[in-house]
Amino acid sequence: MKIYGHEITSRLLLGTAQYPSPAVLSTAIRESGSEIITVSLRRETADGTGAGFWDQLRDLGCRILPNTAGCHSVQEAVTTAHMARDLFDTPWIKLEVIGHSDTLQPDVFALVEAARTLADDGFQVFPYTTDDLVVGEKLLEAGCEVLMPWGAPIGSGQGLRNPDGLRAMRAHFPDVPLIVDAGIGRPSDATQAMELGMDAVLLNTAVAKAGDPAGMAKAMALAVEAGRAGFAADPMERRDMAVPSTPVLGLAALS
Ligand SMILES: CC(=O)[C@@H](O)[C@H](O)COP(=O)(O)O
């Protein structure tokens, strides 16, 4: 799949926050096979992780997708994006503008405005959004070439709260890369997203907070692959009624 002209083979994107240790983070990322990892500039800087952490991420050989997690206004998000571009030397930015501190729901009005400002300034924007079709259209008009609808609130692990909304997005934007971002809790959630025809999944907490993060990273990678293969194989329609799966040919001879 191509995102902003960049070819990727792994459809699992991984976050880098909340791991029990830097070593566990590195092992989990390697096990996931992810080629793209996202990093929160504000959160990591606030944690005081500093240059060692950035060097560790660079050493993993993944492409870095900086994000604006923790930003609540257009100005904060735009400023953070500029800092990220300077630090990581990339035009990519995962744009989060949070509108509500309980749900961490995106402020879609501020999101569209920030996306337009950044796209006009040469950024390649990955917007964390809801599954609203109109907002999706506005983000594309603003210059985004990918959409990242939420599965459920960040860190909740609830899985896909609105599969119908994601299905509608797939139908409405057949040619736009769609990456489900946030709320994935279990491998089966990732598989479901891929079976719905999503192009990729981005997740963090489900791996970082698992008892065995490396094991969960591997499980998520397999789940994404299975879901994609299932989607590509064109699953059967669900039926309301039972239909015998074994055809009845002839009659059993009773003696
Ligand atoms: C890491 C990151 O960017 C998060 O803001 C992202 O949305 C992932 O959410 P989960 O932690 O729920 O997977």
Please tell me whether residue 148 adopts helix, strand or coil conformation.
strand
Question: 33, 221 in Cβ contact below 8 A?
Answer: yes
Q: What is the mean pLDDT of residues 66-88?
A: 95
**Which residue among 41, 71, 205, 224 is best mutated to probe the pocket of ligand 1, counting the most ligand atoms within 8 A of its Cβ?**
205
Is the pLDDT higher at 35 or at 50? Answer: 35
Mean pLDDT value across the chain = 93
Please identify every residue annotated as catalytic: 94
Is 183 touching ligand 1 by the criterion CB < 6 Å? yes
Structure confidence at residue 43 (pLDDT): 58
Contacts 24+ apart (CB under 8 A), 47-52: none
| pLDDT tens digits for range 125-161 | 999 999 999 999 999 999 999 999 999 999 999 999 9
Structure confidence at residue 50 (pLDDT): 65
Please tell me whether residue 161 adopts helix, strand or coil conformation.
coil
Is 181 touching ligand 1 by the criterion CB < 6 Å? yes
Is the complex ipTM higher than 0.85? yes
Distance between CA 170 and CA 105 in Å, rounded?
Answer: 21
Q: Cα 101 to the chain's mean position, in Å?
A: 20
Distance 249 CA to ligand 1 centre (A): 54
Most confident of 40-49, 94-103, 204-213, 245-254: 204-213
pLDDT band at 44 (very low <50, low <70, confident <90, very high): low
Question: 194, 231 in Cβ contact below 8 A?
Answer: yes
Distance 254 CA to ligand 1 centre (A): 63
| pLDDT tens digits for range 162-220 | 999 999 999 999 999 999 999 999 999 999 999 999 999 999 999 999 999 999 999 99
Q: Is 164 exposed, middle or buried (0-12, 13-18, 19+ CB in 10 A)?
A: exposed
Question: 190, 224 in Cβ contact below 8 A?
Answer: yes
Structure confidence at residue 45 (pLDDT): 58
The domains of the chain, with CATH numbers, are 2-233 (3.20.20.70)
> Running DSSP on this structure, what letter comes out for residue 178?
B
Largest Cα separation within the chain, whole Å, is 85
Residue 92 has pLDDT above 70, yes or no: yes
